[in-house]
Amino acid sequence: MKSILFAFLIALSTYATSNNTADLLQNQHQVLTLFDDPSAAKWTTAELNLANTAKNVKYLSTEEKKIIFYMNLVRMDGKRFFDTYFQQYIDEHNSKMKQYSNYKEVRVSRNDPYYRGLEQDLQNIKNLGLLYPDETLTYVARQHGRDMNKKNIAGHNSSDGRTMVDRIRKYYPNHGMAENLAFGFSSALANVSLLLLDKGVPDLGHRKNILNKTLGINIVGVSIQPHPHYKYSATIDFVALRNFKAPE
């Protein structure tokens, strides 16, 4: 398990082979629109709709749905995601960070080795399988987020000592699984972009989880929760469900 402290974000990832609470609630029932972002113009309507696998579920907030949406876009076309939404994120992030005296430390530099490494890794990412929301996995992710909030902890182990594998295999035994954790942001694009960047994480575990080709991941649970120390946490749980049939 690796961790990173970067621009107020901690990101933690692991895998196994076999503004406040009111803000979140306010977003819960907002309609997810896909065409507001300037980057959307570089994608077709059909592509945006294809990536929006969570559009009809009732148990995810707008930003939680968008986490799945952005992960699907990068899996569909890594290079185009890098050239559009990731660049949009960097511009927005760096603009916000200018208010801080340590701007040079918290900004995302396009000369950074992690930036250049991500650009290279995304060049050949094309048409990976889509990720579909799963209510059971979302329950698992939400319970972990609430536990971290209640106990003021940050990590893959629950306050009672259970691991990510323990939590997920209760519902999905003998399946490939993975988990990403991020702290500090409620924005879907911020969470996905910084997990992909994986600055300070030598094994690039978060990036590898999102772009995984070997486990056959196809369902995902997402939860953004308040956190007493980092303000927000985002838990993303992945499972490779055998004989999975995508909803029509």
pTM: 0.89
Alpha helices in 107-234 (DSSP H): 113-122, 135-151, 164-169, 188-197, 205-210
Query: Residue 242 corresponds to which tokens in the numbers above?
Result: 């055998």
Query: Any alpha helices (H) in 52-185, and if so which ranges?
Result: 62-76, 78-81, 87-97, 103-106, 113-122, 135-151, 164-169
Q: What pLDDT, in 10s, does the model give residues 220-246?
A: 999 999 999 999 999 999 999 999 998
pLDDT of residue 126 exceeding 80: yes
Q: Which two tokens stand for residue 115?
A: 């930036």
pLDDT per residue as tens digits for the range 20-77: 555 454 444 444 567 778 899 999 999 999 999 999 999 999 999 999 999 999 999 9
In angstroms, what is the C-alpha Rg of the chain? 17
Q: Report residue 110 as tokens.
A: 């396009």
118-125: average pLDDT: 97
Spatial distance between the Cα atoms of 68 and 130, rounded to a whole number of angstroms = 9
Phi-psi region of 200 (alpha: psi -120 to 50; beta: other; left: phi over 0): left
